[in-house]
Structure 1
Amino acid sequence: MNFNYRMIPIAFIFILVLNVANCSEKTVVGDGLIFDQAVIRPIPETNITTSGYISITNHGEPDRLVSANVDWAEACEIHSMKEEAGMMKMRKVDEGFPIASHSSLILKPGGNHLMFINLKRKIKLGDSLKVRLNFEKMGTKEIDFQVADPNSMDSQTGSESHEGHKH
């Protein structure tokens, strides 16, 4: 069997491209905040509400995610999911979520999340949409969210909750 050494660089490039495609893009925004896996759930054209998820790691001073806003929906709210009397209930969280120093806040399906209400435009798989996250101390940070299957986020972070996880 003859081995074609010219194929080694091509195979290396192919493997490199696959690995880069499988890595989620991280956005680092001053003061030690790292935003990762910013995803908006795709919806049928007839829906006017969807949800968003993101991982926020804080390597700086303690802060709080107090609100979020967008130009492409009438409202954006921070929500939590809690089990009460055997039923999952969603609630708006007016006080936001704290992010301790050297810890992470994970907004994910079935848990804490962003809710986009009365969409002003149609969104489709693959779209990139800007979301402004407002922090108590670090101010407003504009992040690009991708319209994608949020279950792909679960496979990258694992199924266990990382809320309050120390780094």
Structure 2
Amino acid sequence: PAQLPEETSAQGFRQLLEVNLLGTYTLIKLALPHLRKSRGNIINISSLVGAIGQSQALTYVATKGAVTAMTKALALDESRHGVRVNCISPGNIWTPLWEELAASTSDPRATILEGTLAQPLGRMGQPAEVAAAAVFLASEAAFCTGLELLVTGGAELGYGRKASKSSLGEVPTLPPNVH
């Protein structure tokens, strides 16, 4: 749910750090001895908003951005052991969580439509599409490490509205004789 920075407690931020960042780190640390022996690979799950930001989601954005940064740093460190490290950053994927989020809004249909229209492909992604990206990174992408694979339907592309009318600053005007 949307949350302004002043509405977020340090404890709430800490809990999200525990799950999104420290949980990922701990699992990696425990798996590394085996992965080094087997020359395996790590696929972390981040989020598109960790790269591009999102309004009213400071703590989530920060923790997911940290997962992406950790992926890249670890890719450098583990390459000498033959371990590849990549991450997938999904955008709007139609999941039970997305459905729950939409249902909690005053106009669920409008929320779903807005989420759908965020992608140039005109639809939300499916969990199976994220899974297919993971299979690709795990098997066929043998020369990829430190990669952030965006599975977003192109949501990060293009030029579009970033401000609301309530946050609008000075708007330029044309001279009177220009139509």
* Interval of TM-score (by shorter of Structure 1 and Structure 2): under 0.3
Q: Which structure shows the bigger proportion of residues in helix conformation?
A: 2
| Larger Rg belongs to | 2
Q: Which protein has the bigger strand share?
A: 1
TM-score, normalisation: structure 2:
0.23
TM-score between both structures, scaled by the size of structure 1: 0.24
